[in-house]
Structure 1
Amino acid sequence: MALEGLISKRTDAPYRSGRTESWIKSKCALSQEFVIIGYVPSSTSRQAVGALVLGYYEEKELVHAGRAGTGFTDETALALRSGLESIETTQPKFKRPVDKASLQNVRWVEPRFVADIQFRGWSTDKLLRQAAFKGIREDTAAKDVVLEEPKGPTMKPARKTASQVNLTHPDRIIFDLDPGEGVEWEEVIAGALEVKDRLKSQGLESFVKTTGGKGLHVVSPIMPSGEWERVKAFTKKMAEAMAADSSRKYLAVMTKSRRKGRIFIDYLRNGRGATAIAAYSTRARTGAAVSVPLTWTELKTGIRANQFTIDNLRQRLSHRKRDAWRGFFELKQKLPG
């Protein structure tokens, strides 16, 4: 999914916006050994390297992997330049063509040294992204450096992994019930139950969650086989049917001037590129309310849209014996038609 990292906060610190020492950004990073095949001189010091040019072997042929231009201390940059200058050579032969921009200002060296490199991923032209030098590996022979597969703990996934997510096809339907001024909470609940019944009539089971704002989300998992436009058309048709059947309760257009006393059945969350608050995500609002999955039985008890916050959510979860959305990821439902 190409996520950049995680944001975490000290549990005893207040929830405040802006940069503080209480918040920490932990970036996701990959690590791999690469052969040093060249360097680019520093633009600020004549005796230091500015970047290392890296590669790896594929079927005994050298593959250009890009550059690492950060991670050096002043001392390291000087030491690398001193060591690499003595083994400069002509440009090596690569297995695949290398673009001209990658060849500019490079001083090629014999492939003797191996570097430990941390990086954020690969670009579309198969070059390292945000690569940083971490050190020289003296225990690895350059000829043995090949591209490694990403490694991690071996576990049975309880939820979808990144490799299982199909971003080109939606795997769920979302109806966002957004109440206008003057709408009672009981009416929002009734609207969510009507969406549930209408989906049920189409052969689709659904789940409900608070939004942490004013409304509710009704979510139905589907197999990722339909196109985005098809899913959006299906949800639009249902929203328009609700608005036509109960025009005093619902509307299917987002015009704010028409929302007073009615609930906007927002189907637009189902367009490609559209966003919706994820389960257990906080809202950037006073109180830091959280979007929380519920059972349909709980919804009837009158739980409010912003009832759960970062302060009381732990208590809710500690008292639950089973997931409110148990079975969500196991459902194999197809979009009707």
Structure 2
Amino acid sequence: MLAQIGDKPFDDNGWLFEVKWDGYRAVAEVNKNDVRLYSRNGLSFLDLYAPVAQELKKIKDDVMLDGEIVVLDDHSKPSFQKLQHYDENRNRPLVYYVFDCLRYKNKDLTHLPLEERKKILEKLLPKSNIIRYSDHVENEGTAFFHKVSEMGLEGMIAKRKNSTYTEGKRSNDWLKIKNQNTQEAIIAGFTEPRNSRSYFGALILGMYEKGQLKYIGHTGTGFTEKVLKEIHNLLKPLVRETSPFEEHVPVNSPVTWVEPVKVCQVKFTEITDDGILRHPVFMGLRIDKAARDVDHVDVKKPNPKAVDKKTSPSQKNVSRKSTPKKLPSGKDATAEEPKDGVIKRVDGHELRLTHQGKVYWPKRGITKGDVIAYYETIYPYIIPYLKDRPESLKRNPNGIENKGFFHKDAGQAAPSWVKHIPLYSESSKKEVDYILCNDKATLLYLNNLGCIEINPWNSRVKNLDKPDYLVLDIDPSEKNTFDEVIEAALAIKEVLDKAGANGYCKTSGASGLHIYVPLHAQYDYDHARDFAEIVARLAGEKLPRITTLERSLSKRKNRIYLDYLQNSKGQTLASAYSLRPVEDATVSTPLTWKEVKPGLHPSQFTITTLAKRLTKTGDLFAGVLKEKTNLNACLKKLGA
């Protein structure tokens, strides 16, 4: 639930008043010691703010909480800058101020009045220095605001006592009244550094107004040398040739434009009649906000004392066709920005990467460049599951809001160094030229074509008729919960355990789970499919209410489909560690069986969280390519 902007403090018996905390808004879900902690845009905070996650485990009930994560300075005041660099400020108090409870003991509370929700909240929270109840005063908003201002806090939130919780909406039942003028802003470009300044001079700022990006000023203060470098490195992959603004922007030095997807926070003195921020000071990045959410200025009305146009920024206009600078080279690649893309050298091959700033996830600001960076990072983990396997290319060159298309016959159009193999396709009744993804350069080439997800065959070119593993795809209907998907996976594991077969589980990256059984290319697809069907039927007998082997959507009757038919030559599934073109930018992620329990959810494993997970877990799927399963012995055990 979001707040509207309030004009000034007030007194009212129907309202209560809370401190407006200067941090990251965070929702916590606790269920039987399983914890989720995430931002408004779905970014997981579990690893970033691990002490909060650990403390949440002390809550034994099923709850969903809403609050703000802050880091306190030497004066016990929230510091947004220190929160930004928490790794360097771990000696500072980290606090999760909780102000609302949306679920308690598996009951939805959002329909209850705020007063009742807060009474429940105060009782359920453990005694803790990290998780704290965000208290309030009633009725006397004016005196409370003056106290908040004296303490140098950002402001207060006024909330109607009898208000229900309206998720995702900006409501007049909550009002934010600020002591300090702060504003979220979209970074649209940066100017050349001057004198002794390194990396860049100022950031060009914007926000959306009726769907169009509007210039609101630029900021050149508030940066340390380290922050300048971090911001510059963040913006390099987003460089574009033209200005993202429709209007001409007044700046006083050459500009490098970037895709408008990164959000920062600034403080400022006032706003002009033209909507320009006066004296904006950079405070930090907003990793918890998407650019499309920045569509209003957090001041109710323009200040009548605003400066005239003569004193507002107004130097020469920069053409929308300003030429960006060259991009510095990476560790194993060189890069520059010609008109038709970035040239990158990978594994000795020259690779042209185009439209790196194109936004693939509009609500999250995730770009094509982010996708390529993700695959470059996790390449050592994913390549064993791609090498020597024909690829059915699923391309989403326009991002996730477009359905995309499959592109099988792609080998002839690929660069000369990309390996490919012609194979006769029964479905197409012709020879199809399949790409083989055998190295990093080929993987990035596929990403550049718009391949968000990677879909290899189950068999390799040396044994195309004999898969390396069999697969059981647990495919839920829209009516099934993910806990039911987990129940189905555990039923399959029970059957496999009785058979003496080792099953490896991973998220599909969308709504289901995949279970792989290693075969080491010992059996043909018919044998693999027959065994998979037996396992699926035995598991289905355990859960007839929620599972089915019926492939027809109309006949499934809102049950989970236990799909064993993926075990055919040419059939593909998203690879382990493959991104998926779905809302949360989730990744098909291998799991331990200890993790496969109620409370698990695919949204825990995303483009932003997976690399860090892999440093802790390593490749949990390695046994899939190394182990052998004796299907004849397994059948005998099941028969017994």
Q: 1:207 aligns with which of 484, 498, 504?
A: 504
CA gap 1:334/1:165 in 2 versus in 1, 3 angstroms: farther
**Structure 1 counterpart of 2:360, which letter?**
Y
Q: Which consecutive unaligned segments of at least 5 residues does structure 2 have?
A: 1-349, 377-415, 423-458, 636-640
CA gap 1:221/1:21 in 2 versus in 1, 3 angstroms: closer
Q: Which consecutive unaligned segments of at least 5 residues does structure 1 have?
A: 27-117, 125-161
Query: 2:579 is matched with which residue?
Result: 282
Query: 1:238 is matched with which residue?
Result: 535
| Cα distance in 1, alignment partners of residues 353 and 623 from structure 2 | 29
Q: 2:360 aligns with which of 3, 15, 20?
A: 15
Indicate whether 1:300 and 2:584 are aligned: no
CA gap 1:168/1:186 in 2 versus in 1, 3 angstroms: same
CA gap 1:331/1:11 in 2 versus in 1, 3 angstroms: farther
Query: 2:588 is matched with which residue?
Result: 291
Query: 1:35 is matched with which residue?
Result: none
| Cα distance in 2, alignment partners of residues 275 and 230 from structure 1 | 17
8 Å contact from structure 2 (residues 540, 548) kept in 1 = yes
8 Å contact from structure 1 (residues 236, 267) kept in 2 = yes
What is the CA-CA distance between 1:231 and the residue it aligns to? 1.1
CA deviation digits over 1:257-301, x for unaligned, max 9?
233442110111111111111101111222321100010111226
Indicate whether 1:324 and 2:610 are aligned: no
What is the CA-CA distance between 1:248 and the residue it aligns to? 1.4
| Cα distance in 2, alignment partners of residues 331 and 119 from structure 1 | 32
Percent of matched pairs sharing the same residue? 33
CA gap 1:198/1:165 in 2 versus in 1, 3 angstroms: farther
CA gap 1:198/1:288 in 2 versus in 1, 3 angstroms: same
| Cα distance in 2, alignment partners of residues 176 and 122 from structure 1 | 28
| Cα distance in 1, alignment partners of residues 549 and 577 from structure 2 | 27
TM-score, normalising length: structure 2: 0.28
8 Å contact from structure 1 (residues 181, 259) kept in 2 = no
| Cα distance in 1, alignment partners of residues 420 and 586 from structure 2 | 37
8 Å contact from structure 1 (residues 212, 307) kept in 2 = no
Say which SS state the counterpart of residue 566 (structure 2) adopts. Answer: helix
Alignment of 1:1-337 (within 5 A): 14-15=359-360, 22=369, 166-300=463-597, 302-318=599-615, 320-336=616-632
8 Å contact from structure 2 (residues 476, 511) kept in 1 = yes
| Cα distance in 2, alignment partners of residues 6 and 221 from structure 1 | 35
8 Å contact from structure 1 (residues 209, 216) kept in 2 = yes
CA gap 1:300/1:7 in 2 versus in 1, 3 angstroms: farther
Say which SS state the counterpart of residue 296 (structure 1) adopts. Answer: coil
**Structure 1 counterpart of 2:625, which letter?**
F
| Cα distance in 2, alignment partners of residues 200 and 262 from structure 1 | 24
**Structure 1 counterpart of 2:610, which letter?**
L
Query: 2:215 is matched with which residue?
Result: none
What is the CA-CA distance between 1:16 and the residue it aligns to? 5.5
8 Å contact from structure 1 (residues 214, 306) kept in 2 = no
8 Å contact from structure 1 (residues 211, 306) kept in 2 = no
What is the CA-CA distance between 1:191 and the residue it aligns to? 0.9
| Cα distance in 2, alignment partners of residues 261 and 251 from structure 1 | 9
CA deviation digits over 1:15-55, x for unaligned, max 9?
359xx98488x9xxxxxxxxxxxxxxxxxxxxxxxxxxxxx
| Cα distance in 2, alignment partners of residues 251 and 163 from structure 1 | 31
| Cα distance in 2, alignment partners of residues 121 and 308 from structure 1 | 31
What is the CA-CA distance between 1:203 and the residue it aligns to? 1.8
CA gap 1:185/1:6 in 2 versus in 1, 3 angstroms: farther
8 Å contact from structure 2 (residues 520, 625) kept in 1 = no
| Cα distance in 2, alignment partners of residues 261 and 122 from structure 1 | 41
| Cα distance in 2, alignment partners of residues 192 and 294 from structure 1 | 12
8 Å contact from structure 1 (residues 177, 217) kept in 2 = yes
CA gap 1:9/1:313 in 2 versus in 1, 3 angstroms: farther
CA deviation digits over 1:209-260, x for unaligned, max 9?
0111111011111131211112112212222333344321211021112334
8 Å contact from structure 2 (residues 471, 516) kept in 1 = yes
CA gap 1:11/1:335 in 2 versus in 1, 3 angstroms: farther
CA deviation digits over 1:97-151, x for unaligned, max 9?
xxxxxxxxxxxxxxxxxxxxx6656988xxxxxxxxxxxxxxxxxxxxxxxxxxx
CA gap 1:12/1:177 in 2 versus in 1, 3 angstroms: same
8 Å contact from structure 2 (residues 472, 564) kept in 1 = yes
8 Å contact from structure 1 (residues 210, 306) kept in 2 = no
Higher deviation after alignment, 300-309 or 259-268: 300-309
Number of positions where the alignment pairs a residue of Structure 1 with one of Structure 2:
203
TM-score, normalising length: structure 1: 0.51
Pick 1 or 2: higher relative contact order, CA cutoff 8 A, min separation 6.
Answer: 1
Say which SS state the counterpart of residue 527 (structure 2) adopts. Answer: helix
CA deviation digits over 1:174-228, x for unaligned, max 9?
1111112322222211110111111121221011101111110111111312111
CA gap 1:178/1:120 in 2 versus in 1, 3 angstroms: closer
Query: 2:155 is matched with which residue?
Result: none
